[in-house]
Amino acid sequence: MAHLVCVAGATTGATGLIFDSSTRQIVSEVQGRGIIPLEQDESALYLRVQEICNSLAEAAPQRLPEPSAFIFSLSSQVRYDSQQVLCSAISHSRLRTRDAPRLSWITRGEACWWVSDTARDAIILKIGTVGFAHAFDQSFPSAPDTWRAGGWGLLSGDDGGAYFIGRQVLYRLFEEQDGRRKRTDFSESFAEMLRQDQTRAVTTWIRQHKDTYALRIEVSKLAQAAISLAEQRHDEFSARLLRRAAAKLARCVAAVISMAQRNDGTYGQRPIDVMVQGRLVQYSPMYAGFIRDAVLRICPGQLHLRPLRWSPVLGCLQKGLVTLLNWQRRDAASAATYAAASHPLLNVEFAPEVERMLFEGAS
């Protein structure tokens, strides 16, 4: 009997599960706070990992055997010092093991690749708090080289994700409030959404979110406000901002294709599955249309937009089943998705309008 503990961490939250390989069932599933090793100090990283491990233990219907392995998907690159922190946090949690925990760490893009069903060249296009593109050759993981652009954390942020859009919203509001730009319907509409006086809305909002991590999350949420203003109120600034964000995401896609071509000159001449993942685009037909138009111009006829319909934590699970328990990828995918079918938090849905806009007309 083997129990695998899988955790997919991101800026705004983490998802964890425990999988029983003998019954092929998910026996525990939780959501926790964000885990971002690139930006959190060691104590914060330790506490977040320990916290989600404890929550998984508590959510299990009965006391479980000692886990066989832990597979983490985290947004940043693997670092030895962070791995040590993870091992220590696990060892001091309710999922502790007698020996040092067997730990495997993959990036967010790799987790998304594992949970996809693609068998050809692929690019993961992540559109969440950060945006990035991560390219994989059709021979991955036998050939381990991959290429990524965008998503480098708080200080970069210029990648077309929600944090980028939210910051542009704030910049515009400041400029309209202090007179550097002419007042438009945009700032008035934003103030109405916050139910604040127009001249006080921005400063009040900032004062309510002083903590750096909380502020980043709240800034990212402003992206949804921009989407709502563009789609529901036809705000010109918001629509232009979404076009800019889509163009930045497309440049990430172009960059990883260029990097891959240095390794394989035929990359981009074969069909490429562009697997789309991220909450920001799931319910926005307008943003989906901008992304489709920007991305498909890169390699006309070769890029095929497809949805990622499962949480990246299932990619951790499939990676563990294949590399640690020696399952075939097809069997691992079938077991993971079958087990997750009854767990709504592990399913990713796109609005019907987005499905038609982004996928039906793009493949």
Residues 108 and 151 grouped into a single domain: no
Residues 136 and 275 grouped into a single domain: yes
pLDDT for 197 equals: 53
pLDDT for 363 equals: 45
pLDDT at 179 over 90: no
Residues 166 and 226 grouped into a single domain: yes
Per DSSP bridges, beta strands 131-136 and 146-150 are antiparallel
* pTM recorded for the entire structure: 0.90
CATH number for the domain spanning 93: value is 3.30.420.40
Domain boundary, last residue among 211, 234, 257? 234
**Number of structural domains, the chain?**
3
Interior angle at CA 116, CA 110 and CA 120, nearest 5 = 90
Q: Closest by alpha carbon to 125, among 37, 250, 38?
A: 250
Residues 323 and 292 grouped into a single domain: no
Domain boundary, last residue among 234, 263, 287? 234
Encode pLDDT of 339-363 as tens digits.
999 999 899 999 999 999 888 754 4
CA 125 – CA 308 distance, rounded (Å): 10
Residues 207 and 196 grouped into a single domain: yes
pLDDT for 83 equals: 83
Interior angle at CA 341, CA 20 and CA 346, nearest 5 = 85
Residues 315 and 304 grouped into a single domain: no
pLDDT at 79 over 70: no
Interior angle at CA 26, CA 25 and CA 31, nearest 5 = 170
Residues 44 and 169 grouped into a single domain: no
28-42, 221-235, 317-331: the lowest-pLDDT one: 28-42
Q: Which two tokens stand for residue 142?
A: 């036998």
Residues 216 and 134 grouped into a single domain: no
pLDDT for 42 equals: 81
Buried b (16+ CB within 10 A) or exposed e, 27-56: bbbbebebbbbbbbeeebbbebbbbbbbbb
Residues 292 and 340 grouped into a single domain: no
Q: Which domain holds residue 253?
A: 120-157+243-309+350-360
Give the mean pLDDT of 112-125: 94
Residues 67 and 209 grouped into a single domain: no
CATH number for the domain spanning 254: value is 3.30.420
Give the mean pLDDT of 213-230: 84
CA 230 – CA 241 distance, rounded (Å): 9
Domain boundary, last residue among 234, 267, 292? 234
